[in-house]
Every structure is written in C-alpha cells, then in structure tokens.
Amino acid sequence: MTEVVQRRVIVCADDFAVHQSASLGIAKLARAGRLSATSAMVLSPRWSADVAVLRELRGQIDVGLHLDWTSPFARDAGHGLSLGAAMWRALRGSFARDAARAVIEHQLDAFEAQWGAPPDFVDGHQHVQQFDGIRQTLLEVLARRYGGLATRPYLRVSRASGFSAGLKGRIITAMGADALVREAAAAQLPTARALWGIYDFTGNAQRYATLMPRWLRQMAPGDILMCHPAQAAEPDDEIGLARAQEFGYLSSPDFAQALQHARVRPARGAQALASAAAPAPAAA
C-alpha cells in the first residue's frame, strides 16, 4: 500500500502571554497536538508567570519571540508606536538602528531569562519583524548572538499567498517579505515560507471554520499557519471574540478532520523546513 504523503507545516499560536486566557488556551491546544509552535510577548507582565506552562511542553513545540513594537506593552516599555506610525516610519526608512538594536536585544534577553535558551524562531506582532529598519537590525543581532549555533532561529516571512492575498495580505507582504528572505539568506539565517491564517478577525465561528480548510488545502511544506486562540474572550482585548472562536474551532474534531482531509501535519520548524527543501517524491 502506498503511504499517504503529508505536508508538514508550522501551526503557530501568536501572542502567548498577552493575557492568561491566551496562554492557557495555547498550552491546552499544544498538549492536544493541534499546535507546533507559539510566539511569546515577552514585554507582557504575564510572561514571567505564564512561561511555566510552556516549560511543560519543552521539546514538543517551538517557542519563539513575538517581537513587539506596537502593543500596549511596547508603549509601556517606552518604544511603542501605533501600527500606522510604525509602518510610516518603515516606509520612510527612519527607524534609528541603535535604538532598534537596544529594543531587540532587550526582548531577546527577556525571552532567554525566562526560557533559559534562545528562541526557536522570531516573528513579529503585526509583522514588524520584516519592517525596514527593524528587519536589518534584527538579522544583525540574530547572526551575532546565534550564528554559531548548529540550529539557528528561523524567521517568519509574512508573505500572503493564494486567496489570503487580499488587500490586507498584499499590504503585509509589501512591508518587507521579499527583502527579509533575501537578507536572511545573506546572513545565513533560515526562513519559513508563506504565511496563512490572515483575515480581518470579523465574522462568527462558522466563518473561521470555513476559512480553515481553504487555507490548509493551499499550504505547502514549510509554510506557517498563524492563529490567535484564547480560552475565552477578554473584555479589554479588541480581538477577544475572534480568539475565543479560534480556540473553539482549533480544539474541535472539525479541525482534526480538516488536517486529515488536507493531508497536513503540524510540525516543528526543523521538520517543516527540511520537508520544504526535500525533493518531491517521484510519481508512482
């Protein structure tokens, strides 16, 4: 009997530590095998406490840094900007490299202080990891800190693909996806492929349940599917309802069936990126 070839992709829950409901929901999904990665908001006051539930999952999922310039946590830390202001600064090329370096080093230090190891990967809150001025400095810092490691942190490339490439997806992609791939290769840092899971966080639970199988069918090995689950909708969270709806779907039998039907397997970055680089199996 011919073995069914499964596509290995990274299923990543963003915003770990944004609040307790998100952290607990992400940990629960990871224990159930529904996720293969999560990225942490280390400027959150919850990071030092919530990291305990991730320690129980060490070696089972990738844990990365959710580089942050645009959340309330970043504003409280003194460097935060609105998304619009950060985009405008990137388009003008006016991010000060020394200031950006200090912000990046601080967040990596905060990650390592609690996790006790380098991040498996780096992505960005609202995709700032690929903004001009931040991107180049991030690559420089990562190469210096981790360039000697046998396995270096990989980077998310926020490149929309397929039907995800609507207006929002095209804007995200235009903010530096191609440049990140090119410059990361020059720095000998690995990158993931396309990004899925992009939508406007509106609609009911059925809408998310309709989008997911479409994303899964179009994903290629080494792609990332991002999600933003939480056990419950927090009243001060502007996407709280969407987080709860995502958690409900991702923890349901419907998601397990969608993965099976699409022949997709959540995998850690090393496996997913290796499968993307491997030649396709020969036709029978």
Q: Which structure tokens are listed for 242? A: 């969407």
Residue type, 198: I
Least confident span in 22-26, 112-116, 166-170:
166-170
* Residue 40 forms part of a structural domain: yes
The number of domains in the chain is 1
* Residue 261 forms part of a structural domain: yes
pLDDT band at 109 (very low <50, low <70, confident <90, very high): very high
pTM for this prediction: 0.94
Residues β-bridged to residue 121 = 154
Check residue 209 and give its pLDDT: 96
Q: Which structure tokens are listed for 74? A: 């970043």
Q: Which structure tokens are listed for 197? A: 């899971």
* For residues 74-87, average pLDDT: 97
* For residues 198-227, average pLDDT: 95
pLDDT band at 283 (very low <50, low <70, confident <90, very high): very low
- Residue 69 sits in a domain whose CATH number is 3.20.20.370
Burial of residue 42 (CB within 10 Å: 0-12, 13-18, 19+) is buried
* Residue 192 forms part of a structural domain: yes
Least confident span in 146-150, 265-269, 276-280:
276-280
**Which among 179, 79, 169 has a CA at the least distance from the CA of 139?**
179
Give the length of the chain: 284
Tell me the longest C-alpha to C-alpha distance in the chain.
Answer: 60
pLDDT band at 164 (very low <50, low <70, confident <90, very high): low
The answer to whether residue 277 scores a pLDDT higher than 90 is: no
* Residue 284 forms part of a structural domain: no
* Residue 282 forms part of a structural domain: no
Check residue 163 and give its pLDDT: 62
* Residue 147 forms part of a structural domain: yes
The answer to whether 257 and 235 are in contact (CB under 8 A) is: no
Check residue 281 and give its pLDDT: 45
Reduced to 3 states (helix: H, G, I; strand: E, B; else coil), residue 144 is helix
The tens digit of pLDDT for each residue in 115-140 reads 999 999 999 999 999 999 999 999 99
* Residue 166 forms part of a structural domain: yes
Q: Which domain holds residue 161?
A: 7-277
* Residue 11 forms part of a structural domain: yes
